[in-house]
Structure 1
Amino acid sequence: MDKGTNKQGGCLCGAVRYEVHGPLRDIISCHCGQCQKSSGHYFAATAASLSNFRLTEERGLKWYTSSNRAERGFCIECGSNLFWRRTGGTHISILAGTLEGKTGLRTVRHIFVADKKDYYDITDGLPQYDSYPEELKNG
């Protein structure tokens, strides 16, 4: 779990930049319908404690309330998907592709696989869940 201390990242155009000073969770791939619609595929995201996360540039950041429990952050200038956060949560999910350089992270599970599209298969042998696993519901 202690991966990615002092990592930086951001959107394609630089209008949203962030830093994480602390551990990053390994990658969870989410195949839910909302992730598909907002990314065009599925999300591969890490997460950090909000206390270890800091925006260093946010002029392009827009939050979209995607449900009564969560919102998604993206850049209004270049369209990059960046974040997902639970309302009242203590962590922020960060799309792994927005991190700079090597991450030291690995994919550890797939969630909402019942919603995945039929044009791809999940063949990596990692745990698969049809919904959100109980141990992740508080983050």
Structure 2
Amino acid sequence: MNKSGSCLCGAITYETSGALRPVVACHCAQCRKTSGNYVTATSVARDRITIKGEPVWFASSDTARRGFCGTCGSNLFWDGAGKNISIFAGTIDGESGLKLKGHIFCADKGDYYDIADGLPRAEQADADLTTKVE
């Protein structure tokens, strides 16, 4: 599955080759702070993505960083220590062909919305729903 995507202004683009993980919604406080709501992301093996342009990387914890466009501010990537890099699903160009698989960090979700889609939910991280950070 080859996909492409970009930030809003086009200064950063990416191309993937190979399988993408189904989309997972993250409701943690960090995702809510960086996006204004929860985040939906897929992931791809590190050797299966080519990034053009220079994302700004912010170390959001001791084990992960977030990549965004320094020009338009678009959130693009979440990068932990695992084999994959997460890509924010809304940045994929055109039809993704992906489906939402479930929700993580539901204990931290905002009080202004409900999760009512019937998909699996985890109160915190869940290795069954996401790529496990090694």
- What's the TM-score bracket when you normalise by the shorter of the two chains? over 0.9
Amino acid at match of 2:29: G
Query: In 2, distance between residues paired with 1:91 and 1:102?
Result: 21
Partner of 2:53: 58
Q: Which runs of 5+ in 2 are unaligned?
A: none
1:72 matches 2:63 = no
Count residues with an aligned counterpart.
132
Q: Aligned equivalents of 2:30 and 2:3: distance in 1? A: 27
Q: Percent identity?
A: 49
Match of 1:102 in 2: 95
Aligned pair 1:128/2:129, yes or no? Answer: no
Q: Secondary structure at the match of 2:4?
A: strand
TM-score normalized with structure 2 length: 0.95
TM-score, normalising length: structure 1 = 0.91
Q: For 2:65, what is the secondary structure of its paired residue?
A: strand
Distance between the aligned counterparts of 2:22 and 2:102, measured in 1? 9
The answer as to whether partners of 2:28 and 2:108 remain within 8 angstroms in 1 is: yes
Q: Which runs of 5+ in 1 are unaligned?
A: none
Offset, 1:48: 0.2
For residue 58 of structure 1, report the CA deviation from its aligned partner: 1.2
